């Protein structure tokens, strides 16, 4: 995992999503570094720690690396997620088949129909996993009602096995999502660490060169300037 050289205390680092496209922000940070090198004496006089400027390149690289790693994980689903997407439709189809068969088998037994309705009232993936197991158990308990119209009892064993298999896949999928979230948090922290660094340098530069437009312009975010202009134009 990329290492960010912090300029603030850990509890001050945000982990929320970036407030602008990371690629454009990184380019602006690169531009700022090149721009402010010539102004270091003036910025230092205004209270900017020269280390804040000197660490820009390594923090830019760390943020870029964190962004690349996050995008790679986002665009490359884990094996469990791939398998889940392949198997979930078939599992749902099997669940529907069992429900239809049991509903027909229990058509003259209101109590069993109520129990069947209770089992199938949820519609989440967790419900799907549990339903397959519960439907299989219910069908096995009342097997005589199913065999009466030639139902394939092997489907109940298939449902039990599929429930167990999907439970394992779902747990692995959750684990993969957790790792993706960890990568996203690391990217977000890298972004906001750099963002605070860039903001401090910009604020100082805008103050120091408030009377020199030729230098002031380099301390303004073009992304936010253009966004504000579009907002102003649409409002007008």
C-alpha–C-alpha distance, residues 77 and 197, integer Å: 33
Q: Which helix (H) or strand (E) holds 101?
A: helix 79-105
Pair 175, 230 in one domain: no
Pair 119, 230 in one domain: no
Whether residue 2 is contained in a domain is answered as: no
DSSP symbol at 149: T
Instruction: Output the CA angle 34-37-40, nearest 5 degrees.
Output: 150
C-alpha to C-alpha distances, 56 to 108, 112, 157, 169, 176, nearest whole angstrom: 75, 69, 61, 43, 32
What is residue 235's predicted lDDT score, i.e. its pLDDT? 63
pLDDT band at residue 74 using 50, 70 and 90 as cut-offs? confident
C-alpha–C-alpha distance, residues 2 and 155, integer Å: 50
3-state SS record for 102-124? HHHHCCCCHHHHHHHHHHCCCCC
DSSP symbol at 7: S
* Boundaries of domain holding 148: 79-179
Total structural domains within the chain: 2
pTM over 0.75: no
Residue 120 pLDDT > 60: yes
Pair 119, 136 in one domain: yes
Pair 110, 187 in one domain: no
Pair 133, 115 in one domain: yes
């Amino acid at each position: 995992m990329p290492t960010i050289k912090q300029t603030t205390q850990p509890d001050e680092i945000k982990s929320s999503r970036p407030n602008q496209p990371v690629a454009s922000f990184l380019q602006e940070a690169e531009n700022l570094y090149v721009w402010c090198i010539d102004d270091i004496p003036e910025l230092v006089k205004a209270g900017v720690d020269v280390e804040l400027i000197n660490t820009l390149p390594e923090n830019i690289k760390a943020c870029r690396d964190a962004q690349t790693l996050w995008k790679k994980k986002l665009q490359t689903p884990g094996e469990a997620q791939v398998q889940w997407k392949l198997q979930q439709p078939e599992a749902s189809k099997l669940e529907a088949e069992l429900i239809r068969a049991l509903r027909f088998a229990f058509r003259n037994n209101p109590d069993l129909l109520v129990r069947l309705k209770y089992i199938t009232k949820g519609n989440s993936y967790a419900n799907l996993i549990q339903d397959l197991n519960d439907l299989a158990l219910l069908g096995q308990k009342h097997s005589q009602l199913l065999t009466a119209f030639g139902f394939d009892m092997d489907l109940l064993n298939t449902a039990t096995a599929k429930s167990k298999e999907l439970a394992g896949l779902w747990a692995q999928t959750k684990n993969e999502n957790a790792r993706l979230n960890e990568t996203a948090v690391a990217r977000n922290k890298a972004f906001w660490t750099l963002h605070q660094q860039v903001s401090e340098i910009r604020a100082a530069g805008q103050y120091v060169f408030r009377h020199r437009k030729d230098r002031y312009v380099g301390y303004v975010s073009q992304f936010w300037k253009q966004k504000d202009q579009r907002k102003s134009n649409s409002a007008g």
